[in-house]
Structure formats: C-alpha cells, structure tokens
Amino acid sequence: MAARPERPARGITRAAVVLATVAVAAFGGVAVVHEATRERIAATERARELARFDQVLGGLLHDNDLLADTLTLRDPELLGTTAAITAYRARFHGQAVAIVLEPVAPDGYSGAIRLLIAVAPDGTVLGVSAASHHETPGLGDFIDARKSDWMQRFTGKSARNPAVSRWRVRKDGGDFDQYTGATITSRAVVGAVGRTLEFFARHRNELLGDELPAAPATIQP
Amino acid sequence: MTPAAILRAGFRDQNPGLVQLLGLCPLLAVSTSLGNGIGLGLATMAVLIASNGLVALVGRSLPAEIRIAVFVLLIAALVTTVELALAAWLPGLHTALGIFLPLIVTNCLVLARAEAFASRQPVANALLDGFAMGGGFLVVLVALGSVREVLGRGSLGGDLHVLLGSGSTSGLHLFGEQHGFLLALLPPGAFILLGLGLAWRQARRVTAPAPAPGAAATSGMPGEATS
C-alpha cells in the first residue's frame, strides 16, 4: 500500500527523463547534419540563383557578384506588388551592363506570376522568364522557357518600342500575339513586362548608379 | 516472422500503396514522372529503414506513455537529416519533391510500421521490414510515375538527370509533349490510375488460390485510407 502512490510519480519522472534524452539526442543529430551540409547547401542555392540570372542575361559578360550588388524597389503600380522587390545589377569593369528585376504580374489566370526581367542600360529587354507561377499545366505554362519560346518575343523591346499604347496582346489592340487559349496569362505577362520597362525608363539613373553603393540603395517613388 | 514473409508482406500482401493505402497524399501528388517517383520512393525508404532500426533498438525499453512521442521525434530527426542531405547533394530533386520531402514525417506509413511492427521485433527484422515496405511503396510510385509521365508527357525518365547528374540521360521520348494526355498529370488522373491499380490488385487476389489460414489475417480488406 505504501508504494502505490509513489509509482505513478516515479513512472512520470522516468518518462520525462527518457523523452528529454531522446529529444536532446535527436536535436544533436540534426545539428551535426545541419553543420555538415550548411556550406554545401549555401553553395548550391547560390549556384541556382546565378543560373536563374543566366537564363535572362543570355550569356551577357559581367564580372561582379550580382547577389551582392542589389537595390530594393517598391512601386505597387508598376511592379505589381506592395512588397519590396530586389533588383540585381550586372557590371563589367564597374560599368552597369544590365539590371535584373523581379516584378510580379498580379493578374495571372491562377494568381500572381513572378517574372525575372533583364534590362540593358538603353532600356531594351535582354530576356524574360517566369520565376514562379501557378498557371494551368498544358495551357498557361507556355511561359516556362522549357515549354515554349513565347517569352523570347520581348527581347529587344523597350518602353517606347512599341509605343505605350501597343504594350498589349493583339486581342486588346496591342502588338503582342497572345498564346492560343491562354489570353489571360498572355495579357498578364505582356502588361507586367511593359510596366516594368516603364519603371526602368522613369528610374533609369538611380537603377544604373555609377558608383558601387556602400549599402543596398532603396528607391521608393 | 521469416525474412521471406516480411518481404512478401511489404511488396505484395500488405503493399503500402495498393493494400494498406498508407501515404496516399505524397504518392498521388509526386508521382508525375519516373524521376520524381524514384526520388520520393528512395527518400521514404531510407527514412523507413532508419526509423524502423532505431525504433527496434529503443522501442521495448520505452514507457508506454511516451512511446509514440519518441517515435515521432526520431522520425522527424531522420526526415530532417534526409532533407538536408538532398538539399546539399541533389538540389534538383530537393526542389522537385518540394514540400513532400519534409512531409515524409507525416506519412503514416512510417509511424505505422514503427508502432505496429518495428517496436515489437528484433532489429534485423525491423530493418528488413523497412526495406520491404519502403520497396513496396517505391514500386507503386515508380509504376504510377512511369504511366503518368508516358501518358502526360510522352516521355519516360525525362527528369532522371536530376537524380543521376546533368547530362547523364535525357530519357526516352515517345511522342511530343504537346500531344500528351494532360489529365494524367493532374490530380484526378493520379486518382484514376491508382484506382485502376487497386482494381488490378483486387482482381488478382480474388482469382488467386485461397490463402492458407495463417496468411488470411494479412490479406484482408484494404485498411483505412489516411494521410
């Protein structure tokens, strides 16, 4: 009888100790693996970012670290999102040779389409790709470079070529062929690219910046 | 249990995908291509073998109240380990599997084998069970992934290079992707094809000679579909 009230308490203590031991051991194991893979994961993530840029820069020669030469932009009207977006500057011998922007086309068929657009200093497009989207497979995913070359039609265009009023799909009286069966997606992308080029035209000097900024610069019109 | 019985249970009689219907969510979501199927199948198998082994080591000495909590902790740590390893060495596959890699934690197959089998068996049996159940899951993932990729994209193994390293293989191309049967790639296609697989499995069981009395318990109706 005397031992009875003690038993549950002893059981609970033992369970707690075992659970704590296992938790510490599991945590320790994960920490060791995390430490062992940390550098490699950082390197692969960097390589993936740079590969993304290569897609839109089209082999443009540059000698700086794009990921370290950035600007923070905020313009809900032209860049399609209330959140701050990052622009990356490519330089060759200190001279800016391209700006890579990551605007959003908020009016895709299935939500926002994030784009990656490289613009040359003269305001012409070097390349456009879809950074992420939820468009219907087989219909709206023609914006993937792997699926079609539709995105290449923007290369060489700028905010004034064609004229602002022609930055629309053909169906709306513009200069760009909509992809058959996916007018909404086409319209969203054409509009977003046009607005981004307009943003570039308005802020060209701040974006190109002649000096390497000491700290990431911020443009908030 | 004999090794042969454990292997038979995992690959055939209690196949996780076709009989126990465990872990259907990742099974249906990720099996859009052969490469994805193999990737998730191997990752799940690795977690199952390791978790079964660990659980068999500590399972019997655990107080009943915290047994499940300890299993969950161990499985979570193992899945995190596998995820970090894939992010470091196979980043392409890590991206392709996306959220379903960390979600192996919630694959009820892993916890079910820990609780129902590994915690009551010697370590060797538990490891073999992890291999057999993981293998059974892998086979279904590979079959579903192959069929969906061929029907939907007209290729087979088109993204195997993610597993084997870039430039190693571009897979088999049977017809142009634009002629693919889109439904096969979308979730309804996954359900329909898995349904056909279940029907095939059931038909085989109905026409097979009556199992021995001892085996009857392992070949009952499919368990509840969860997760």
CA distances from A141 to B11, B25, B61 (A): 37, 24, 54
**Residues in CB range of B165: below 8 A, 6 or more apart:** none
* Distance in angstroms between the alpha carbons of the first and the last residue of chain B: 28
Whether the predicted pLDDT of B214 surpasses 70? no
pLDDT at B191: 92
Q: How would you classify residue B64: left for phi > 0, otherwise alpha for psi between -120 and 50, otherwise beta?
A: alpha
Q: How confident is the model at residue A7 (pLDDT cuts 50, 70, 90)?
A: low
Whether the predicted pLDDT of A52 surpasses 60? yes
Rounded average pLDDT over B114-143? 90
Phi, psi angle pair for A107, to nearest 5°: -110, 40
Q: How confident is the model at residue B165 (pLDDT cuts 50, 70, 90)?
A: low
Whether the predicted pLDDT of A181 surpasses 60? yes
> Chain B residues with CB inside 8 Å of A22's CB?
58, 70, 73-74
**What is the distance, to the nearest Å, from the Cα of residue B78 to the centroid of all Cα atoms in its chain?**
16
DSSP for A77-92 reads HHHS-SS-EEEEEEEE
The mean of the pLDDT values for chain A is 84
Whether the predicted pLDDT of B116 surpasses 90? no
Rounded average pLDDT over B105-129? 88
Does the beta carbon of A20 lie under 8 angstroms from any beta carbon of chain B? no
Q: How confident is the model at residue B218 (pLDDT cuts 50, 70, 90)?
A: very low
pLDDT at A55: 84
Q: Which of A4-18, B107-121, B135-149 has the highest mean pLDDT?
A: B135-149
Q: Are A128 and A115 in contact (CB under 8 A)?
A: yes
Question: Is A18 close to B70, i.e. CB distance below 8 A?
Answer: yes
Does the beta carbon of A11 lie under 8 angstroms from any beta carbon of chain B? yes
Q: What is the CA radius of gyration of chain B?
A: 18
3-state secondary structure (DSSP) of residue A219: strand
Q: What is the pLDDT of residues B12-62, one digit of tens each?
A: 888 888 888 888 888 888 888 888 889 889 999 999 999 999 999 887 788
Whether the predicted pLDDT of B221 surpasses 50? no
Beta-bridge partners for B46:
none
Q: Six-digit token pair at B28?
A: 């249906």
Q: How confident is the model at residue B211 (pLDDT cuts 50, 70, 90)?
A: low
**Whole-prediction pTM value?**
0.70
Strand ranges inside A4-119, DSSP E: 70-73, 85-92, 95-101, 104-108, 111-119
Strand ranges inside B78-222, DSSP E: 155-156, 172-173
Residue A36 or residue B97, greater confidence: A36
> Chain A residues with CB inside 8 Å of B182's CB?
137-138
Helices (H), chain B: 3-8, 24-30, 34-58, 67-89, 91-97, 108-116, 123-153, 161-164, 187-207
Least confident of A137-141, B54-58, B111-115, B135-139: A137-141
Complex-level ipTM beyond the 0.85 threshold = no
Question: Is B70 close to A147, i.e. CB distance below 8 A?
Answer: no
Q: How far apart are CA A94 and CA A165, in angstroms?
A: 36
Check the CA dihedral A73-A79-A82-A85 and report its sign: negative
Q: How far apart are CA B28 and CA B14, in angstroms?
A: 19
pLDDT at A146: 75
Q: How would you classify residue A156: left for phi > 0, otherwise alpha for psi between -120 and 50, otherwise beta?
A: left
Does the beta carbon of A30 lie under 8 angstroms from any beta carbon of chain B? yes
Q: Six-digit token pair at A26?
A: 């599991």
Rounded average pLDDT over A13-23? 89
Pairing of strands A104-108, A111-119: antiparallel
Rounded average pLDDT over A125-152? 84
3-state secondary structure (DSSP) of residue A160: coil
Question: Is B91 close to A11, i.e. CB distance below 8 A?
Answer: no
Q: Look-up: residue for tokens 């992010």?
A: B87
Q: Six-digit token pair at A43?
A: 């390197």
pLDDT at A136: 80
How large is the angle between the packed helices B108-116 and B34-58, nearest 10 degrees?
Answer: 30
Rounded average pLDDT over A201-221? 67
Whether the predicted pLDDT of A81 surpasses 70? yes
Burial of B197 (0-12, 13-18, 19+ CB in 10 A): middle
CA distance B25 to chain A (A): 20
Q: How confident is the model at residue A210 (pLDDT cuts 50, 70, 90)?
A: low
Helices (H), B90-122: 91-97, 108-116
Q: Are A122 and A134 in contact (CB under 8 A)?
A: no
Rounded average pLDDT over B134-140? 93
Question: Is A33 close to B182, i.e. CB distance below 8 A?
Answer: no
pLDDT at B50: 92
The mean of the pLDDT values for chain B is 82
pLDDT at A32: 95
Q: Are B37 and B144 in contact (CB under 8 A)?
A: yes
Question: Is B87 close to A44, i.e. CB distance below 8 A?
Answer: yes
